Structure 1
Amino acid sequence: MAGAEARAKAREAGTRTCEAEPGRARVTFRRALRSEAVRMRHSPLVVLHVALAVALGALAGAYFAFSAWDSLLGTDAFFQLLGAGAPLLAGISCGLAADAEQRAGEGANVLGVSSRRGALAAKLAALLALCLMAAAIAAALFCGSLALAGRSLPDTAAVALATAGIALGSLCSYVILWCVALRFGRNASIGMGTLGFIAALTLMGGLANGLVTGTFSGAFSIGAAAFVPFAWPSRLASLPLELSIAAGMGAQAQVEALVAAYATVTCACTAITAVVLAVALAAANRFENPRRSGE
């Protein structure tokens, strides 16, 4: 009991210090970011992301390089799959990272520091960097395979936007799933990520819906998908590619519809992510480790 009271007083003192000294909070974030970078060098999460990206990018690239499917819509379908899988990967990453923090010292690196906001921001930045790295590797292998086979590809700028969209659209999911992992554990985080994967595919009309039907499915059910965080990575990956394809076809009506859909998803994603991130950072210093709260 006395130990719990001492820890509570220490946390309150750390919170007051950070609120009184903004400069110190910034230094804490930089130190936390450097610490995350050092720990990531030996983390199995790096291997997991690289292995999944290489396997998915190489296998899908080899398939679409020689299949009879339209390579442009095939690229769209591949990026839709990457984006839809982002919530699942986020759930796994957050769950494993939270487990690692608990094993390393009952969450001391994120819950026992003077600025939990800085630690949270650094953790999210590290996980998001892994997401972007995996998306970039998979995209490079896939597009490289198609280019070597002489197949058509969307514009390079569209591919770059799609890759970045997967990471940026995933930020809200990482915030939510990291909080879930800390509070309820690894399995809850992975379970929610799995539901996010299913929701993203369902809102898209199913896996490879656009490829099979020969349509641009990125704008499918956009009214609902725009407000479902787990659907954002797949939409922000698909819509730039579909815009590039439609523009190349001279389909002006479809271009206008896709521009409207892209703007809707981008605005909703930006606004809601900003609110969720702000709430998480504001509440970071009040979060308690559930494994120690009963002491």
Structure 2
Amino acid sequence: MLLRSICSDLYKMKRTPIPWLHVFVPLIGALAFLWYYSVTGNDNSLGKLTGFMEVLCMVFPLLIGLLCGLTAAQEEQAGSYQVILSEARSRAVAYMSKLLLLLVLSGLSVTFAVAIFSTGIHAVPPQLYVHIVMAAWGGNVFLYILHLFVGFRFGRSASIGLGVFGTLISALMMTGLGDGIWHWIPWAWSARLCGDIVFRLQNPSETAWAATDMQYGITVCLIVTLLSLAASLLWFQRWEGSKSNE
């Protein structure tokens, strides 16, 4: 039933900008960075990768806000959410279908961006790209849950507004302000985890510290994500499709 629901959502999503945003945003971003680095002549491969991932992870909160807002708006326009709430055999299946589809597209988008960027960067271990993709994607799962809730309950504008706020917070957390507190800031998870992965490779003597920092962040991220998923499923089961202007 879940697979049929995902296929149905994918068919409906084809008529929206959502799939194309997952393609063109990473494509344009990766090509822009490759062009910039070719002009500047920077030979530090790990430094290039760090810079690219920092910007990519900072942009993702805004992109997630837009994507989840569009997803919620699509259901609102189809009858103030009554279609998804009344026609689906299980509300949990209907909710998970949309969330999983967005997460799969997100994973493909991150992989696509890193794959394109890697074509112009040399002397970087292949396994590093795998770890980077996993960190960038996994650190954003909570944001998809949060924004899907905000989009359904408060509307597309609220989801996009929260995305703008998240991007600003993500940028701040990449500075010294985030040291020691980023583990509790969801908008910092993906960028900081990617940074720690590269830092371990650049500074072998600091591997133990970086591993501890990452473990702390991953533990908090995992617990908060699982709790938010359970809470969002319970909420969606009881939700009656309140309009965003209520």
Residue number in structure 1 paired with 2:221 = 269
Q: In structure 1, the residue corresponding to 2:166 is in which secondary structure?
A: helix
The answer to whether the Cα contact below 8 Å between 2:183 and 2:217 also exists between their aligned partners in 1 is: yes
Q: Is 1:232 the counterpart of 2:184 in the alignment?
A: no
CA shift in 2, pair 1:64/1:91, >3 Å: same
Tell me how far apart the structure 1 counterparts of residues 154 and 67 of structure 2 sit (CA, whole Å).
15
Q: Is 1:86 the counterpart of 2:86 in the alignment?
A: no
Shift of 1:34: 2.1
CA shift in 2, pair 1:293/1:198, >3 Å: closer
Tell me how far apart the structure 2 counterparts of residues 292 and 269 of structure 1 sit (CA, whole Å).
29
The answer to whether the Cα contact below 8 Å between 2:73 and 2:155 also exists between their aligned partners in 1 is: yes
Q: Which has the larger radius of gyration?
A: 1
Q: Is 1:243 the counterpart of 2:200 in the alignment?
A: yes
The answer to whether the Cα contact below 8 Å between 1:203 and 1:231 also exists between their aligned partners in 2 is: yes
Shift of 1:222: 4.1
The answer to whether the Cα contact below 8 Å between 2:92 and 2:233 also exists between their aligned partners in 1 is: yes
Deviations 1:132-190 (CA, angstroms, capped at 9, x unpaired):
1221111111111224xxxx33x211211111222211111111111111111111100
Shift of 1:121: 0.9
For 1:1-295, what aligned pairs fall within 5 Å after superposition?
27=1, 29-69=2-42, 70-112=44-86, 113-147=88-122, 152-153=123-124, 155-205=125-175, 221-246=178-203, 251-252=204-205, 254-291=206-243
Q: Which amino acid aligns with 1:45?
A: I
Shift of 1:293: 10
The answer to whether the Cα contact below 8 Å between 1:86 and 1:233 also exists between their aligned partners in 2 is: no
Structure 2 length-normalised TM: 0.91
Structure 1 length-normalised TM: 0.77
Q: What RMSD, in angstroms, separates the aligned Cα atoms of the two structures?
A: 2.0
Tell me how far apart the structure 1 counterparts of residues 3 and 117 of structure 2 sit (CA, whole Å).
35
Shift of 1:109: 4.5
Q: In structure 1, the residue corresponding to 2:196 is in which secondary structure?
A: helix
The answer to whether the Cα contact below 8 Å between 1:222 and 1:261 also exists between their aligned partners in 2 is: no
The answer to whether the Cα contact below 8 Å between 1:56 and 1:138 also exists between their aligned partners in 2 is: yes
The answer to whether the Cα contact below 8 Å between 2:13 and 2:19 also exists between their aligned partners in 1 is: yes
Tell me how far apart the structure 2 counterparts of residues 160 and 145 of structure 1 sit (CA, whole Å).
17
Q: Which amino acid aligns with 1:227?
A: W
Q: What are the ranges of 5 or more consecutive residues in structure 2 without an aligned counterpart?
A: none
Aligned-residue sequence identity (percent) comes to 25
* 62-71 or 225-234: bigger deviation: 62-71
Q: In structure 1, the residue corresponding to 2:224 is in which secondary structure?
A: helix
Q: In structure 2, the residue corresponding to 1:146 is in which secondary structure?
A: coil
Deviations 1:92-147 (CA, angstroms, capped at 9, x unpaired):
00111111112233224432223111111111111111211221111111111224
Deviations 1:228-273 (CA, angstroms, capped at 9, x unpaired):
1111121232222222233xxxx31x21221111111111100110
